[in-house]
């Protein structure tokens, strides 16, 4: 991990919990009959399961994972101790720190951040609040509900005059670009898009970014050990790509100077890449 993230309060898993997960929890989650697990989650009124069934990997389940304060016991287990929700909370902290650093290092004032698949906006609001420079952000998402929720949170952070919302499909990002973009945040989106859509989106973004402009994205590793559970029980099909594979896609779109930082569970890396000067 590079300088600048050592003091982040990451969630970690101790050796005993790691062994229990490997020999007991993950095999049960991955191989017990999916119908039985779904029944259990319904019977215990799991909110994270309901959110995923309604919209697999959508913004509501992200909020539940980020907040980590669940009422139902099944959610306390899934969200409190599950490797993916823990890693998501770590990714949120790490990505916000990286973005705040980029905002403060930006030579343009005010820095303009474009958030692709912004969802509830929690990462960018953390970053805007942490940064000293008064950056502005545009949040692009398919979902009106996500924007309604994000608008409320922006108000709570006192950021409503520095953010704007664009409802649309990031696969047609060109339609939604109407100004300068210094930093692009692509956290929590690449795992839902095939290679060619990532390359084409990054190529389009590169055309509106100044030399030295930065994209921030994340890799996803199978080290959480529960992909089979997510596919069978939640219908969530995430595309796992290591840092190198994603960096190669960004390289095809003209970006370089890659730097990556991992969160301690090894599930996510947050990667930055620059448009050459």
Chain positions contacting ligand SAM, by CB under 6 A? 57-59, 62, 117-119, 122-123, 141-143, 146, 169-171, 187-189, 192
Q: Specify the residue, 126 or 182, whose C-beta has the smaller distance to ligand SAM.
A: 126
Helix, strand or coil, per DSSP, at residue 238: coil
d(C-alpha 64, C-alpha 86), whole Å = 11
> Which residues are within 8 A (CB) of 66 and not within 5 positions of it... i.e. 6 or more apart?
88, 89, 92, 120, 122
Q: Specify the residue, 146 or 159, whose C-beta has the smaller distance to ligand SAM.
A: 146
CB of 27 to ligand SAM, least distance (A): 26
Task: Please say whether the dihedral angle defined by the alpha carbons of residues 16, 17, 19 and 23, taken in this order, is positive or negative.
Answer: positive
Q: Specify the residue, 117 or 213, whose C-beta has the smaller distance to ligand SAM.
A: 117
CB of 10 to ligand SAM, least distance (A): 17
Torsion from C-alpha of 101, 115, 62, 92, nearest 10 degrees = -10
d(C-alpha 168, C-alpha 178), whole Å = 14
CB of 42 to ligand SAM, least distance (A): 23
Q: How far is CA 33 from CA 10, 36, 40, 65, in A?
A: 33, 5, 11, 24
Percent of the chain that is helix, strand, coil (3-state, to 5): 55, 15, 35
Q: Specify the residue, 25 or 185, whose C-beta has the smaller distance to ligand SAM.
A: 185
Q: Specify the residue, 81 or 192, whose C-beta has the smaller distance to ligand SAM.
A: 192
CB of 194 to ligand SAM, least distance (A): 11
CB of 171 to ligand SAM, least distance (A): 5
């Amino acid at each position: 991990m590079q300088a600048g993230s050592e003091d982040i309060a990451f969630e970690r898993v101790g050796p005993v919990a790691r062994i229990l997960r490997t020999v007991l929890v993950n095999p049960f989650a991955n191989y017990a009959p999916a119908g039985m697990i779904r029944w259990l989650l319904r019977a215990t009124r799991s909110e994270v399961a309901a959110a995923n069934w309604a919209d697999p990997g959508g913004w509501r389940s992200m909020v539940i994972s980020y907040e980590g304060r669940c009422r139902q016991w099944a959610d306390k287990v899934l969200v409190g101790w599950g490797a993916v929700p823990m890693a998501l909370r770590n990714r949120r902290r790490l990505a916000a720190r990286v973005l705040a650093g980029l905002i403060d290092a930006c030579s343009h004032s005010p820095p303009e951040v474009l958030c692709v698949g912004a969802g509830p906006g929690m990462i960018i609001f953390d970053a805007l609040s942490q940064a000293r420079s008064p950056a502005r952000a545009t949040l692009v998402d398919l979902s009106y509900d996500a924007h309604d929720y994000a608008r409320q949170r922006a108000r709570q952070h006192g950021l409503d005059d520095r953010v704007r919302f664009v409802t649309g499909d990031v696969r047609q990002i060109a339609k939604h670009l109407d100004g300068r973009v210094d930093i692009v945040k692509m956290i929590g989106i690449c795992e839902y898009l095939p290679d060619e859509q990532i390359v084409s989106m990054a190529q389009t973004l590169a055309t509106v970014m100044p030399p030295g402009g930065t994209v921030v994205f994340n890799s996803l590793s199978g080290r959480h050990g529960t992909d089979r559970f997510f596919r069978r029980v939640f219908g969530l099909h995430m595309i796992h790509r290591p840092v190198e594979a994603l960096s190669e896609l960004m390289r095809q779109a003209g970006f370089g100077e890659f730097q990556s930082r991992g969160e301690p569970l090894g599930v996510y890396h947050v990667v930055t890449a620059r448009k050459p000067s």
